[in-house]
Amino acid sequence: MRLGTDKWVVGLLCVGLVFFVTDAPGAEEAAVRPHILWLDAEDANVNWFGCYGNPAATTPNIDRLAEEGFRYTHAFANAPVCAPSRSTWITGVMALSMGTHPMRSRYAIPHDSIPYYPDLLRAAGYFCSAHGKTDYNIGGRPDGQCWDARGQHVWQERAEGQPFFSAVHFPDSHESRAFGNVDNPRHDPARQRLRAYHPDVPGIRNNYAHYADAVQRMDQLVGQTLQQLEEDGLADRTIVIFTTDHGGVMPASKRFLTDSGTHCPLIIRIPEKFRHLWPAEQPGMTVDRLVSFVDMPKTWLSLAGAEVPEHMQGRIFLGPDQEPERTTHFAFRGRMDERYDSVRAVRDKRFLYLKNYMPYVPAGQRLNYLWQMVATQAWQAHHRAGLTDAITGRFFRPRPQVEELYDTHRDPDNIVNLVDCPAHAEILERMRAELRGWQLEVYDAGMIPERMMARRAAAKGTTIYEMVRDPERYDLEAYLDAADLALEADPANMEKLLELLEQQDPGLRYWGTAGLRMQDSLCSDAVAALQTLLADSSHEVRALAAWTLLAGGHVQEAAQNCLIELLEDGSYASLLVLNVIDHVAEDVQVYLPAVQNAQGGNYVDRMKEYLLGDTR
């Protein structure tokens, strides 16, 4: 029998009260259960820390923590941006598996069957607190409801003898701290090691140094929290974890599935009294186990002796209940703020495989927030001046290939695509198969457009999580097959693509249209079919059909009118329409009145400001 959300929480807390009685002062278990302190900073990948090999970094407190603990060398975020990453963390379920992968979307999940990990810790008798950002990207439940208290050092408020779990968030390394004037950083710009894809220009080099200042400030606050733990006499019983919520933060890192966007620090300090939990012989050693962020909630629950639900999708990587090491890590990219994209990643300890489901858009689509950074502006100016090369200019061009494969040992900046290298054909095939298997295993909810996904679930009065697990409402295998057919971009597939356009399922019509978008040229039958789709019941299909026709130079007026009508009618796909207009129109004059009147919230407003301004 399922309990409602409130009943679930009350039930867990009742169990926790029983558990807590056994943990009263003097009880044997109180002496052995660890406190857990999770220090979580924003955005920075491994390259911003001294203990991970950056000689120009000033991170003494985090470096000391690594000397006193264990430094993991292969820890990776499942999403390269905060909200989907934290959605995965709080539930132990991939955001992509719940439909919470689009940035700041707040779609509901079945809270009666998916508790947050602090609920389970509280049921096990732990006092749970959080400080700072939550940003779980989930609707139907307030973020703060799962915590006993909010505040930086509120572990001091727990009952006597009660173990605590405290998540302390540090915003001081956030992307926004890389904004502003970069002319006089404390760190030396000349000592900064630039990524190979960044041109060596002052605006970029100075911005690196400016952000290193921000990471130093974050490190100081980490040190203060650790000092407070010492002063409270709790360090010898507290497991301390330090990580970031994803990678970043220079342009082409945060939001992207290359290593700079997902490879994160993970440091765990375990006191002597819990040495049976040590993952290596002595503190100060490195651990090369592959850790995916989805593994963390299960692991913290296991260390605390709490219930670990079967629906959690990670693997316990530490402690007596640890599970076999994963061989691959998986990650995903969906809509990022006002821009649409769809990418999946597979990573083992050496190779990184990416699959681009929208290769016809550049990686570096203009994003309001990212473009506030001097480095991004300087990079774009350098590119527009014709000064970039095949490597430094790739960010601003449509992706030349659907698939990417990188040897991260030889190519840490992920610039040499090995997908066409015969010597790596076996690795490529293996990773392709692993990706498909994983997408089926977790019910990849991103294989139809976002609003189509949300509207379909809402029409049946259910959550996206539940909808994508019903093959009658979400035929994932059919979508994966259709996507693969589309991405082949093979003229020989024209007849099969046209058949997709006739399917009742708008998700299949969408992939058929995407397949035509991938073609270099269109036959008369394809043009006629696309004209018919300009009146399709799905607004996403209509928008993509118009995009395909405009990109190929066909029936321009009809395609333009389709986009204009969608905006004038207040389409639920208005954000997608504005993206299409940006990609197809050098001059927005024909769309100007419709763009000015477009409705749809903050992200629509950002696109309007961009399209109507002089920043293009």
Domains of the chain: 5-320 (3.40.720.10), 443-612 (1.25.10)
Please tell me the predicted confidence (pLDDT) of residue 615.
63
Return the residue matching tokens 């006191």: 271
Q: What is the pLDDT of residue 464?
A: 98
- Predicted pLDDT of residue 616: 66
d(CA 98, CA 422): 37
* Encoded amino acid at 432, one letter: R
C-alpha–C-alpha distance, residues 409 and 288, integer Å: 14
pLDDT band, very low/low/confident/very high, at 586 (cuts 50, 70, 90): confident
In the chain, what percentage of residues exceed pLDDT 70?
94
Contact 121, 304 (CB under 8 A): yes
pLDDT at 236 over 50: yes
**Is residue 332 within 8 Å of 446, Cβ to Cβ?**
yes
Model confidence pLDDT, tens digit, residues 416-441: 999 999 999 999 999 999 999 999 99
pTM for the model: 0.93
Contacts of 68 (CB under 8 A, 6+ apart): 269, 283, 284
CB 362 within 8 A of CB 397: yes
Q: How far apart are CA 299 and CA 326, in angstroms?
A: 14
Contact assessment for residue 193 and residue 209, using Cβ atoms and an 8 Å cutoff: no
CA Rg, the chain, in Å? 25
- Please tell me the predicted confidence (pLDDT) of residue 585: 87
Say if residue 21's pLDDT is above 50: no
Q: Is 386 left (phi over 0), alpha (psi -120 to 50) or beta?
A: left
Stretch 358-374: mean pLDDT, rounded? 95
β strands within 24-142, DSSP E: 35-41, 70-76, 107-108, 127-131, 138-139
Question: According to the model, what pLDDT value does residue 158 have?
Answer: 95
Q: Is 461 left (phi over 0), alpha (psi -120 to 50) or beta?
A: left
Q: Cβ neighbours of residue 442 under 8 Å, at least 6 residues apart?
A: 94, 96, 97, 313, 330
Mean pLDDT along residues 341-366? 97
Tell me the mean pLDDT in the region 133-153.
95
What's the confidence (pLDDT) of residue 400? 83
Please provide the average confidence, as pLDDT, over all residues in the chain.
94
**Predicted local distance difference test score (pLDDT) of residue 614:** 61
Q: What is the pLDDT of residue 90?
A: 98
**Range of lowest pLDDT (188-202, 409-423, 459-473, 601-615):** 601-615
- Tokens read off for 25: 């002062």
List pLDDT tens digits, range 484-513: 999 999 999 999 999 999 999 999 999 999
